[in-house]
Structures are given as structure tokens and as C-alpha cells.
Amino acid sequence: GLVYVQVTRGVASRDFVFPSADTKPSLVVTARKADPAAGAKRAETGIAVITVPENRWDRVDIKTVGLLPNVLAKQKAKEAGAQEAWFVDAEGNVKEGGSSNAWIVTRDGVLVTRPAEHGILRGITRTTMFEVAAKLGLKIEERGFSVAEAKAAREAFISSATTIAMPVVAIDGDTVANGHPGSIT
């Protein structure tokens, strides 16, 4: 299953200052049954992503509930027949997905993902990917990559708590490699 935990400072006046010390935090826990078979089936064929201009606030590395741009990007992806949207910065580099981290595999088999110091959410699954890659002897480069580099990559994939590692077989309607999930993903 999947458990999602949200903690806030609690209920207080809507005056946008920190509440008093006696305010009790609020806790919301959501649990849902996971369907690993559906995820595995989707991984057999891979998913499509679209790209959208980055329009979020600068501190997306801070996990908040202010996710309207992510919701709108994911809806745009759905309407385009894709399953994820990758935010692209002003320089043309992929930042991250609406609800995932973005990865590519170079022609030399190196995994590439954007550095997580600033500009993307670090992601627990992303961190786990580093551990798995080390155990498998795979090299990871933390650097930006362009949409063009992603389209020309040996493989592309996303990582998230709900998808783990999900192959990306098309970006903006262009096929990645041979259009099938790659061996590394």
C-alpha cells in the first residue's frame, strides 16, 4: 500500500504569520491500496511524457501542498495522451516531472538526473536509485540534460514512490530509442 503523511503547523488565523506556540499541529494520513500488477504491466510498455515550461516558484525543493502548476501539467499530459509532464527551464533543460524525477541513460550507459540541491524535489525513490545503481555498478551523473538529449538518449525513465522506475518511451510524441523500455530501466 501507499501511505502519505502531511503535517502542518495547525489551524490558526489566516494572517500569514507563524501561529502562536500553543497551536497544535495538524496531521493528515492518507492510505490507499497499491496495485503492483498494474504498475508492472505499464512498465512492460513504458509511458509517454510531454514537456511544459517551468512556471513554478523557485523553491520546489521544499515539499508543500501548493501544487497547482503540477496538477495543471499532469492534466495537460493526460489530455495529450501522456502519463507525465516534464517541467523545462528557460535554458531548455528538463527539471523534473509533475510528480516524479526525470532520468536518462546515455549511449554509454550512464544514468543522468538533475542535481537536487535546488530546483527539484530530492525524492526518496530518487535517493534509493543512487543506492541501487551503486550496487549494480552503474555510474550516475548529476547534471542537467536538455529535451533534445533526452529524446536522443539510449533510455529515459521517471522515478517516484508510486512508479518506482518507469520507462519513458516517448517525449512530446517523439520516440525514445526504439520505443520500448530499455534494459537498464
* Euclidean distance between CA atoms 1 and 15, whole angstroms: 37
Topology, domain 36-175: D-amino Acid Aminotransferase; Chain A, domain 2 (3.20.10)
Q: Are 26 and 5 in contact (CB under 8 A)?
A: no
Question: Quick one: which of 21, 69, 52 has its CA closest to 147?
Answer: 52
- Parts of the chain with a pLDDT under 50: none
pLDDT value, residue 7: 87
Tens digits of residue pLDDT in 52-99: 999 999 888 888 888 999 999 999 999 999 999 999 999 999 999 999
Residues carrying an active site annotation? 63
- Map out the domains of the chain as residue ranges: 1-34, 36-175
3-state secondary structure of 38: helix
The pTM assigned to this predicted structure is 0.91
User: Residue 35's Cα: distance from chain center in Å?
Assistant: 19
- Rounded to an integer, what distance in angstroms lies between the CA atom of residue 2 and that of residue 33? 6
Measured between alpha carbons, how far is 139 from 137 in angstroms, rounded to an integer? 7
Give pLDDT, residue 47. Answer: 98
What 8-state DSSP symbol labels residue 55? -
